[in-house]
Chains A and B, each alone.
Chain A
Amino acid sequence: MSSEQIAQVVDAKGLSCPMPIVKTAQAVKGLASGQLLEVLATDPGSTKDFAAWAKSTGNELVEQTVEGGVYRFVLRKK
């Protein structure tokens, strides 16, 4: 999983709702199907929000970790 190439990183650290999700949606648009997007956020609400976003849009939430207050999401474009 981690051996796969991350195609793009979105740094949404410090941003409040709804910007992490908005920036993610905008970035995903530019990717090809199957490519991975990494998102970094500090908004604690993003844990639930990214799961909801993935469910609604059909993109896959591949990985979700938190380290030192930074939430990291890896998403695969459907």
Chain B
Amino acid sequence: MTAVAETTETPVPTVAPEPAPEAEGEAKPRDILIICYSGELEKTWAAMILATTGAAMGAKVRVFLTFWGLQTFVKDEVRITGDNTMQKMMSFMQRPGISHRKLSKMNFLGMGPWMMRKLAKQYNVASPKELLEIAQAMGVEFMPCQMTMDMFGLTKENMIDGLGEPVGAATVISLLQGGDAPLFI
């Protein structure tokens, strides 16, 4: 009556299938999803270093740009963004663009970032802007957040070239569910 006796013929998959064994040194790297949320200089730097390195290590890297992290990807030369007064004031208070990031600590009216940039030059550390250009050349995908675009009144023309189509949180969650390694920066 029951199928118990037939296990030799048709094995019942009671246990989850074993994950594919790692081929020595050739395991396909997981895709990486960087959620670029913060707009500070040091965090932007970290995100760009990890994005370029991930691409260099053969991983597919996507960067979701949201909240303050999206402001970083406005063109450097764009000064004021938004339609209404409040949006314009927001961009006035914190200038958008990757070359205008502030430090979260010790900003001292721009003295901190200036010193960081000077040290970086001295020690041959690539700037966030240089790393961004390299990341784009290496095929890192940048996905702006539609909701943040709307909230800050940002247009496609405000943003740097080469960004993907704006997406929402569902795209992020779907990628995470698919197994992307997440980094929230």
Collect the chain A residues with CB atoms within 8 Å of residue B149's CB.
Answer: none
Q: Mark B residues whose CB is within 8 Å of A.
A: 25-26, 29, 49, 52-53, 55-59, 123-126, 131, 134, 138
Q: Is the CB of B25 within 8 A of A21?
A: no
Collect the chain B residues with CB atoms within 8 Å of residue A22's CB.
Answer: 52-53, 56, 134, 138
Q: Is the CB of B124 within 8 A of A53?
A: no
Chain A contact residues (Cβ within 8 angstroms of B): what range?
Answer: 10 to 19
A42 to B: closest C-beta gap in Å: 9
Contacts known (A24-B56, A53-B57, A56-B57); A19 close to B25, Cβ less than 8 A: no
Q: Complex formed: what's the CA distance from A21 to B131 in Å?
A: 13
Chain A contact residues: over half helix, strand or loop, or mixed? Answer: helix
Q: Is the CB of B57 within 8 A of A19?
A: no
Select which of A19, A24, A26, A52 is within 8 A of B126 by beta carbon. Answer: A19
Q: Complex formed: what's the CA distance from A48 to B119 in Å?
A: 24
Q: A5-49, CB under 8 A of B: which get 1 and which 0?
A: 000000000111111011011100000000000000000000000
Most chain A beta-carbon contacts within 10 A, residue among B26, B55, B57, B138? B57
Q: Is A65 an interface residue (CB 8 A)?
A: no
Q: Is the CB of A21 within 8 A of B56?
A: yes
Select which of A14, A15, A18, A58 is within 8 A of B56 by beta carbon. Answer: A18
Q: Complex formed: what's the CA distance from A4 to B59 in Å?
A: 30
Most chain A beta-carbon contacts within 10 A, residue among B29, B55, B123, B124? B124
